[in-house]
Amino acid sequence: MTLLDAEKVFGEAPLFKEPKIIGKWVIWLEQRPNEKGRTTALIRPWGRKDLLPQELTPYPSDLRTKIHGYGGAPLTAALDGSDLVLTWVDNYDNYLWMRSWTSGNDTEKSSCNLIPKIQPICLSKKLNYFLANGVIDLQKNIWFGLMENKEGDHIVTYSLDKTDQNPKFIYSSEGFLGYLSLNSQNKKLAWVEWKKTSMPWDSNELKLAKLHQKGNIEKIVTFNSEYFKLKRQISFFNPIWSDNGDLFVAEDSSGWWNITQIKTDPHNKSIDIIQNKWTLQAEIAFPQWVLGMSSFSCVDNDVVGAFAKNGIWNLALFKENGSIQIINQPFNDFSGLHSFQNRLVAIASSSVIGEGILEIDLLDKRWAHTPASSFRLDSNKISIGESFWFIGSNEENVHAWYYPPLNSKVLLPPLLVKSHSGPTGMARCGLDLEVQFWTSRGWAVVDVNYGGSSGFGREYRDRLKGNWGLVDVLDCSKAAQSLIDSGKANKNCIAIMGSSASGFTALGCLISTDIFNVASCKYAVTDLISMANSTHRFEEFYLNYLIGNIKSDYEQFIERSPSKNVDKINVPLILFHGLQDKVIRSDQSIAIKDELLKREIPVEINLFENEGHGFKDGQIKVDVLKKTEAFFRKYLNI
């Protein structure tokens, strides 16, 4: 059996993000691990995967935002006639930049041929704030976007033909803003807003406003749980405009994120809300950790979107008449969906096809897929994830993906338990080369959608309310025990790995059970007291939901903090942390290491000088994977 090299897993393939169709062009972000995680913008004509894409923002440009700590949505593009207008936020200086290109005539050559009209110009002054989520109004020659500063979040504007500008404030909130959406034809703005004490997937509001001729906003309408006469909270996601001026948004008043249509008159006085037009016990949205995510888009009077049901993503056309047509294509994992006219683009993968850019003509259903990596795995060398339900915490059904080992030479294989981060994330079903790295070496892998995961409805997501460090830990432990009991894993070779929030879960498993024999954690949450007192603004009150109030529930913060329970960890542990991490300080991992050394528990730590929270350098990712495997082999004696 050929082993999958770590270099093939992380060292080569870029990460595609936020694809868009702009006229005849497809434009996307590409994060490059071989350039230490630098993100750039690429473009090529629609449907021409044979053409080499053109890089619009070459080195040293790095398209990334720092808004809300997790960023997203650094790039905005629009067509001014045949000219392409691009604005972006650069990670290097946090400035807002603009450049335009003119389109050449010959697209039959081996590459694109957009010709710059001007040198990049800096629109913003250097001040202490973060910008993101821009939309361009070419009629007014204005960039609308979101700003975060110490006072809160704001909607601001910049002129596209001036440099070194102060922002013009047109709306401010002490809380958070996201998902700004412009209807330039009807002069309207929509966005999502939430209080500092909430996370956007738990409780937020949809705002709809009229744009005044001078660029100010007026006649704001607020949609929230009170508007819908609900006793519980509601969450909105991804407001978008159709060509005829209707607003579509995902909201979870039914217990599932489904699409709602909102019709308004030109002055926002007459409002017609159409809920449950397309009713699904499935989710068409994601938790909004970053800006720029999209799962549905308008096609004339219809909506095309991706929805998750039982852990699997489907692509469908939501027809104006209320019917739902599943689009036949081979992919089952989608993100970054966008459409223009009858064309669709998304990031897509399947169990056997790696992540790449999917283009579909919605009229004739033809599709093309441009993979992020030139590397291919033979289908017979891929472990296909099996949907796996088991009885977890509170005797409730819990979902996971089980990946059997390939050509295992032993009757009972070693088992690796994975828990996604967030902790609101979701174990995806697309091809994951890191999983295949392990299965190619004879490991079984289980990727757990513990209680609190998204994609299974609000009730499933709310299982973690007040129970972080309990429900997630028990679900991961029971997943492992279930596979041991069914004869699919060697009880003496059970490993667990996690990062950030899932690192907290992994450490909790080591503390509360004796099922696991070895573990690996990257930049794990270890000290809940420290996190509550020092985390960034976006997550300042998240622990109120996950644990409780730090004053009244202080003992729970202590009891569930791995850093306060290191004396209960009795198995070998390898740790990884970036010294630039502003979310979880590296000294937390160092303290865990020091405590284990005192008790002579085998422990290793690897610190990376230039990495923050979430490693981006491909070579470092390769190094982490290799060291993890070597550590597991050493202490499991395999």
Number of CB atoms found within 10 A of residue 131's CB: 27
pLDDT for position 514: 96
How far apart are alpha carbons 156 and 160 in whole angstroms? 13
pLDDT for position 407: 78
pTM of the model: 0.94
Helix (H, G, I), strand (E, B) or coil at 523: coil
pLDDT tens digits, residue range 370-392?
999 888 888 889 999 999 999 99
What are the distances in angstroms from CA 380 to CA 9, 351, 352, 384? 18, 12, 9, 10
How far apart are alpha carbons 401 and 95 in whole angstroms? 42
**pLDDT band, very low/low/confident/very high, at 218 (cuts 50, 70, 90):** confident
pLDDT for position 111: 65
440 and 2 Cβ atoms separated by less than 8 Å: yes
In degrees rounded to 5, what are phi and psi of residue 466? 75, 0
**pLDDT band, very low/low/confident/very high, at 216 (cuts 50, 70, 90):** confident
Question: DSSP letter string over 86-135?
Answer: EEEEBTTT--EEEEEEEE-S---SSB--EEESS--EE-B---S-EEEEEE
Among 565, 627, 573, smallest CA distance to 597 is for 573
Helix ranges (DSSP H) in 187-248 = none
Say whether pLDDT at 442 is over 70.
yes
Say whether pLDDT at 287 is over 70.
yes
Look at 113-117, 400-404, 514-518 and tell me which has the smallest mean pLDDT: 113-117
Among 32, 51, 163, smallest CA distance to 112 is for 51
Helix (H, G, I), strand (E, B) or coil at 197: coil
Say whether pLDDT at 583 is over 90.
no
pLDDT higher at 80 or 127: 80
For residue 220, what is the enclosing H or E element?
Answer: strand 217-223
**pLDDT band, very low/low/confident/very high, at 2 (cuts 50, 70, 90):** confident
Q: Where are the domains of the chain?
A: 1-174, 379-636
444 and 414 Cβ atoms separated by less than 8 Å: yes
430 and 522 Cβ atoms separated by less than 8 Å: no
For residue 313, what is the enclosing H or E element?
Answer: strand 312-318
For residue 239, what is the enclosing H or E element?
Answer: strand 236-241
In degrees rounded to 5, what are phi and psi of residue 40? -135, 170
Say whether pLDDT at 1 is over 80.
no
**pLDDT band, very low/low/confident/very high, at 106 (cuts 50, 70, 90):** low
Q: Which amino acid is at 118?
A: I
Say whether pLDDT at 108 is over 70.
no
pLDDT tens digits, residue range 243-256?
999 999 999 999 99
Q: What is the mean pLDDT of residues 47-69?
A: 95
The long-range contacts involving 186-192, CB below 8 angstroms and separated by at least 24 positions, are 186/245, 186/266, 187/211, 187/213, 188/241, 188/245, 188/264, 188/268, 189/144, 189/155, 189/217, 190/239, 190/241, 190/247, 190/249, 191/146, 191/155, 191/239, 192/236, 192/237, 192/239, 192/288
Mean of all residue pLDDT scores within the chain: 94
Q: Which amino acid is at 496?
A: I
pLDDT for position 10: 84
**pLDDT band, very low/low/confident/very high, at 422 (cuts 50, 70, 90):** confident
pLDDT for position 34: 86
Say whether pLDDT at 187 is over 70.
yes
Is CATH 3.40.50.1820 the classification given to domain 379-636?
yes
How far apart are alpha carbons 293 and 429 in whole angstroms? 18
205 and 223 Cβ atoms separated by less than 8 Å: yes
Cis-peptide into 60, omega within 30 deg: yes
pLDDT for position 380: 87
pLDDT tens digits, residue range 330-362?
999 999 999 999 999 999 999 999 999 999 999
Q: What is the mean pLDDT of residues 458-479?
A: 97
Q: Tokens 């694109």 correspond to what residue? A: 112
**pLDDT band, very low/low/confident/very high, at 219 (cuts 50, 70, 90):** confident
pLDDT for position 36: 85
pLDDT higher at 16 or 107: 16
Q: What is the mean pLDDT of residues 283-290?
A: 95
Among 74, 265, 61, 66, smallest CA distance to 148 is for 66
**pLDDT band, very low/low/confident/very high, at 109 (cuts 50, 70, 90):** low
Say whether pLDDT at 215 is over 80.
no
